[in-house]
Structure 1
Amino acid sequence: MVSTADFAGIRAFVAVGRSLSFARAAEALGVSTSALSQAVRSLEDRLGEVLFHRTTRSVSLTDAGKKLFERMDPLVREMTEGLETVRVTGLEVRGIVRLHSFRTAAKVHLAPMLRRFAEDFPSVTVDIVLDDAVIDPAAAGYDASIRLGEVVERDMVAVRIGGPLTQRVVAAPSYICKHGRPERPADLLAHRCILWRWPGHTSTYDWEFAENGRWFTARANGMLVVNEREFAVEAALHGAGITMASEPLVREHLVSGRLVAMLEPWCADYPGFYLCYPQRRTVSRSLRAFIDTLTTATASAR
């Protein structure tokens, strides 16, 4: 049997392991830093192992700490989420929903529904991190991740939000007036293009097109590389070059004439955004409420 002291130590250890900060972990658990540190040291003494490398500037897991964290983190999460499903006052939904979301998905799908969710579930806090990196939501401390369907892992539960998307190749009229426009994807090599790099990748994203139902990539002459798609669109608006972006990011600029679409015959639909979470994860009432509100809002907007 796990003693009360052991459980307190494991809970403290996992909290520090997630944030690699005693101060942030203490804040998350609502205890003092000294009490948290003592709980971890007591656990280390009972195990006979040092679990953290501590310096005045950083905290990191030892090899023994890494092994213990890999085993204990999912167990503590399951226990916490299991308790959360029943720790409610009456029928009120309360708690925290921690989300990792691609930036475009947040702008298109999350922002329009947040007011409704706040009004319907005033006791739920929504903590959203915007980042286009493909991460393991559970390992990174998130309840769920919103990302493109093409990068949803097979062991994830995936809930579709919104419909398919289309990549549009666009440039400002001033750029076209000076440099002309590509007539085929291969012509991009002769133009100044604004490329995008996936976070964590060294190479840039390949421009994808379709012809007769088959997808292919085309090389683009990248004179500008960015890590944020909305900035690429902004640069294109100022005539810096041609860029490729999902249709929601450029729709209003195409309607106003500030951007012009090109290579339309080769721009096809692809899977849109999905909210995903590990199959083994218990879905809390707060996350279920968020998913239901999000899917209802995006279904009515199609």
Structure 2
Amino acid sequence: MDPLLSGSDYNQLRAFVAVGDLLSFSRAAEMLGVSPSALSQMVRGFEERVGVRLLNRTTRSVALTDAGENLLHRVRPVVAELSQAIGQVRRYRERPAGTVRIHAFRSAAESFIQPILAAFAESYPDVVLDITLGDEVIDIVAGGFDAAIRIGEVIERDMVAVRLGPAMRQVAVASPAYLAAHGRPEHPRDLVQHRCVRWRWPGRATPYAWEFFEDGSWFSVAVDGPLIVNDKEMARRAALQGIGIAFPVEQTVAGDIAAGRLVPMLERWSATFPGLFLCYPQQRQMAPALRAFIDAVKAAATGTVLPAPAPG
């Protein structure tokens, strides 16, 4: 970039164009909302930077030099285009508009995003929500996302995290038919003798080792079984079909347990862990569109009814 167009030089260039168009420091100063002396200093500083006199001044008049007239002819449309572009960008500060990119665990999206979509689209017609669902743990910033919803234990330390729900726990479950055929494990380590429906974090090579809590510390069990999936809903359905023991988040199978379709086991060793959080990078100036999305998700999590946005 030409060093003449960096830093505060845009303001100096804009000052020169205003004076060149109006041939009056007082009228140009009024149009720009600055004092005539400040405007004079900006123009003088610009002339010093380019090293050429651009305006001839007297106590009664202002006239362009040949160099000034040539420069004004070239830069006037550029300054006008820049001013228009900056004005359009500033509108993003005044009302929610633009695209918000979100990455969310599938179960989190069902609980906290899906319920707000219709109302959000009606309230913010100029905002586009670009939502990617997946249980993989990605770098939010490197992936180009504005925010994510995930469990607390996989949130980067430098992120702002807003709790959306209570603590969670995983619980081993199986169908009555499976238990009738294979028996019931009495301790988590007994699971190595059972057929388990294993789950693999998307993007990872090995299945997840089931985690339990005993005597103040966590321990893991590397289970085995006939099925490995990377989708927790498929694991739940496989357990319902009697294929094996699954290890879902308790809230996702509460209805199946209440109806007797699945039987919980080993609950004594199933401890809680941080639940779902909305997280986003720390930022000094947050785009109104992102703020609107964050507020809508937080309201859905707490059951709060947000006021309608002011008409834009």
Which amino acid in 1 is paired with 2:190?
D
Give the 5 Å matches for 1:219-298: 219-280=222-283, 282-298=285-301
- Say whether 1:184 aligns with 2:187: yes
The one of 90, 96, 100 aligned to 2:99: 96
1:86 aligned residue: 90
1:147 aligned residue: 150
What's the secondary structure of 2:301's corresponding residue?
helix
Which amino acid in 1 is paired with 2:255?
E
Distance 2:269 2:303 in 1: 29
Which amino acid in 1 is paired with 2:96?
V
Q: Is the 8 A contact 1:84 1:95 kept in 2?
A: no
Q: Is the 8 A contact 2:98 2:128 kept in 1?
A: yes
Q: Is the 8 A contact 2:95 2:288 kept in 1?
A: no
Give 1:281 shift.
7.2
- Say whether 1:166 aligns with 2:178: no
Give 1:93 shift.
2.1
Over aligned residue pairs, what C-alpha RMSD do you find? Answer: 2.7
Which amino acid in 1 is paired with 2:176?
P
In structure 2, the CA distance between the partners of 1:160 and 1:295, relative to structure 1 (3 Å rule), is: same
Q: Is the 8 A contact 2:104 2:149 kept in 1?
A: yes
Distance 1:168 1:292 in 2: 32
Distance 1:203 1:226 in 2: 11
Distance 1:215 1:84 in 2: 54
Q: How many correspondences in the alignment?
A: 225
Q: Is the 8 A contact 1:105 1:273 kept in 2?
A: yes
The percent identity for this pair of structures is: 49
Which amino acid in 2 is paired with 1:112?
P
In structure 2, the CA distance between the partners of 1:127 and 1:232, relative to structure 1 (3 Å rule), is: same
In structure 2, the CA distance between the partners of 1:248 and 1:116, relative to structure 1 (3 Å rule), is: farther
Which amino acid in 1 is paired with 2:116?
M
In structure 2, the CA distance between the partners of 1:105 and 1:113, relative to structure 1 (3 Å rule), is: same
Write out per-residue CA displacement over residues 1-21 of structure 1, whole angstroms, 9 at most, x where no aligned residue.
469xxxxxxxxxxxxxxxxxx
Distance 2:87 2:208 in 1: 42
The one of 93, 113, 117 aligned to 1:114: 117
Q: Provide TM-score, normalisation by structure 2.
A: 0.66
Give 1:121 shift.
2.3
Which amino acid in 2 is paired with 1:126?
L
Which amino acid in 2 is paired with 1:267?
S
In structure 2, the CA distance between the partners of 1:217 and 1:230, relative to structure 1 (3 Å rule), is: same
Write out per-residue CA displacement over residues 24-71 of structure 1, whole angstroms, 9 at most, x where no aligned residue.
xxxxxxxxxxxxxxxxxxxxxxxxxxxxxxxxxxxxxxxxxxxxxxxx
In structure 2, the CA distance between the partners of 1:117 and 1:171, relative to structure 1 (3 Å rule), is: same
Q: Is the 8 A contact 2:225 2:244 kept in 1?
A: no
- Say whether 1:207 aligns with 2:210: yes
The one of 123, 136, 140 aligned to 1:137: 140
Higher strand proportion (structure 1 or 2): 1
Structure number with greater Rg is 2
In structure 2, the CA distance between the partners of 1:100 and 1:83, relative to structure 1 (3 Å rule), is: farther
Distance 2:225 2:87 in 1: 52
Distance 1:139 1:271 in 2: 24
Q: Is the 8 A contact 1:196 1:205 kept in 2?
A: yes
Which amino acid in 2 is paired with 1:152?
I
In structure 2, the CA distance between the partners of 1:225 and 1:156, relative to structure 1 (3 Å rule), is: same
Q: Is the 8 A contact 2:96 2:287 kept in 1?
A: no
What's the secondary structure of 1:209's corresponding residue?
strand
| Structure 1: gaps spanning 5 or more residues | 4-81
Q: Is the 8 A contact 1:108 1:248 kept in 2?
A: no
What's the secondary structure of 1:178's corresponding residue?
helix
Q: Provide TM-score, normalisation by structure 1.
A: 0.68
Give 1:92 shift.
4.0
Distance 1:230 1:84 in 2: 44
What's the secondary structure of 2:226's corresponding residue?
strand
Distance 1:119 1:251 in 2: 33
